[in-house]
């Protein structure tokens, strides 16, 4: 599926994530002990934890197909007694907790409401981000992990209607890693209603940085179109809506369709203007 697009940075990112998760899965499935007894066991498991983190940062949505065995959380707790400062193992622990909160049907989360699940995700991520921030350069990959944690925090704040905290988290994500153009998109998204001009500026910056195959690429054009609607500039809004539609035509087949509200709004506005134009033409004929 991904190999169909050998020149696509996005497809290659999925392939890389797949490879990391596959290796981690092989190691964990091959680890037959139910405990971590010494540093030799840690050496076996550390590669699995590192690859889960690498895969998750590349494409977090691919975590579920490779979800680690049920006892992985227990193994991590024991592992951290030998290596208490291993940020990869710690992040896998956070990922498992956060992903479990996304799946309340799982046994231990059946009693959690949506609100409680969101609160658990946010609290867990906030605590880990705070710890990573204390000694940011203690590991060469720590900034990248911190950027990823803040990125997910921003998304959780958006979903819980906390725009100021969302903006702050996306900004911290981008400040931690300027290659994370997804965080730049997140910053722009949170400006679309409060400061459309700033949103347009940041979205154009995202468009210049991101590959055209990126999953948010059409979304950025729809957001710009919506921002121009707020400015009352219908001509520019329609121009960027057209660019969004062109970008959708080039969308990789394995990516989900674009379903953001801004697309729906633009479709409604275009239909309304088409109907108005039709009525005007009918009046002119009469």
Is 105 a residue whose pLDDT tops 60? no
User: Which range has the worst mean pLDDT, 1-10, 100-109, 206-215?
Assistant: 100-109
Is 281 a residue whose pLDDT tops 80? no
Percent of the chain surpassing pLDDT 90: 79
Cα separation, 260 vs 156, in Å, equals: 16
Q: How confident is the model at residue 116 (pLDDT cuts 50, 70, 90)?
A: confident
Query: Model confidence over 133-162: pLDDT tens digits?
Result: 998 888 889 999 999 999 999 999 999 999
User: For the chain, how many residues are written?
Assistant: 286
Residue 144: CB atoms within 10 Å? 17
Treating both helix axes as pointing N-terminal to C-terminal, what angle do 87-102 and 114-134 enclose, rounded to 10 degrees?
170
Q: Higher confidence at residue 278 or residue 69?
A: 69
Query: Model confidence over 47-85: pLDDT tens digits?
Result: 999 999 999 999 998 888 888 998 999 999 999 999 999
In this predicted structure, what is the pLDDT of residue 280?
Answer: 76
DSSP class of 123: H
Q: How confident is the model at residue 101 (pLDDT cuts 50, 70, 90)?
A: low
Q: How confident is the model at residue 234 (pLDDT cuts 50, 70, 90)?
A: very high
Is 29 a residue whose pLDDT tops 80? yes
Is 92 a residue whose pLDDT tops 50? yes
**Residue 148 Ramachandran class (φ > 0 left, ψ -120 to 50 alpha, else beta):** alpha
Helix runs in the chain, H state only: 9-30, 39-58, 72-82, 87-102, 114-134, 142-159, 163-176, 181-189, 196-209, 217-231, 234-249, 261-285
Domain ranges of the chain: 196-286
Query: Model confidence over 167-202: pLDDT tens digits?
Result: 999 999 999 999 999 999 999 999 999 999 999 999
Cα separation, 125 vs 95, in Å, equals: 9
Is 206 a residue whose pLDDT tops 80? yes
* Average pLDDT taken over every residue of the chain: 92
Query: Model confidence over 240-249: pLDDT tens digits?
Result: 999 999 999 9
Assign 3-class secondary structure to 149-183: HHHHHHHHHHHCCCHHHHHHHHHHHHHHCCCCHHH
Query: Model confidence over 121-134: pLDDT tens digits?
Result: 999 999 999 999 99
In this predicted structure, what is the pLDDT of residue 284?
Answer: 66
In this predicted structure, what is the pLDDT of residue 286?
Answer: 58
In this predicted structure, what is the pLDDT of residue 26?
Answer: 96
In this predicted structure, what is the pLDDT of residue 107?
Answer: 47
Is 238 a residue whose pLDDT tops 80? yes
Cα separation, 93 vs 145, in Å, equals: 13
Cβ-in-10-Å burial (0-12, 13-18, 19+) of 161 comes to exposed
pTM of the predicted model as reported, rounded to 2 decimal places: 0.90
Cα separation, 244 vs 263, in Å, equals: 9
* Tokens of residue 94, six digits: 């956070």
DSSP class of 234: H
Is 46 a residue whose pLDDT tops 50? yes
Q: Higher confidence at residue 68 or residue 283?
A: 68
């Amino acid at each position: 599926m991904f190999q169909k697009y050998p020149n696509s940075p996005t497809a290659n990112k999925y392939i890389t994530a797949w490879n990391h998760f596959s290796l981690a899965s092989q190691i964990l499935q091959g680890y037959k002990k139910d405990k971590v007894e010494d540093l030799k066991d840690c050496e076996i498991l550390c590669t699995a934890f590192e690859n889960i983190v690498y895969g998750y940062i590349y494409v977090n949505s691919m975590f579920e197909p490779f979800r680690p065995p049920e006892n992985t959380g227990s193994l991590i707790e024991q592992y951290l007694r030998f290596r208490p400062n291993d940020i990869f193992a710690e992040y896998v622990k956070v990922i498992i907790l956060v992903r479990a909160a996304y799946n309340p049907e799982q046994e231990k989360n059946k009693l959690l409401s949506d609100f409680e699940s969101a609160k658990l995700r946010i609290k867990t991520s906030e605590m880990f981000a705070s710890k990573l921030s204390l000694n940011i350069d203690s590991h060469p990959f720590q900034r990248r992990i911190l950027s990823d944690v803040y990125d997910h925090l921003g998304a959780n704040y958006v979903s819980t209607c906390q725009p100021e905290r969302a903006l702050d988290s996306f900004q911290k994500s981008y400040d931690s890693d300027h290659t994370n153009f997804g965080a730049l998109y997140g910053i722009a998204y949170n400006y679309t209603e409060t400061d459309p001009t700033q949103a347009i500026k940041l979205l154009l910056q995202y468009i210049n940085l991101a590959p055209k195959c990126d999953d948010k690429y059409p979304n950025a054009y729809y957001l710009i179109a919506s921002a121009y609607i707020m400015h009352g500039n219908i001509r520019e809004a329609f121009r960027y809506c057209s660019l969004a539609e062109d970008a959708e035509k080039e969308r990789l087949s394995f990516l989900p369709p674009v379903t953001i509200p801004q697309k729906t709004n633009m479709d409604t506005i275009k239909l309304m203007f088409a109907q108005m134009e039709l009525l005007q033409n009918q009046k002119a004929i009469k």
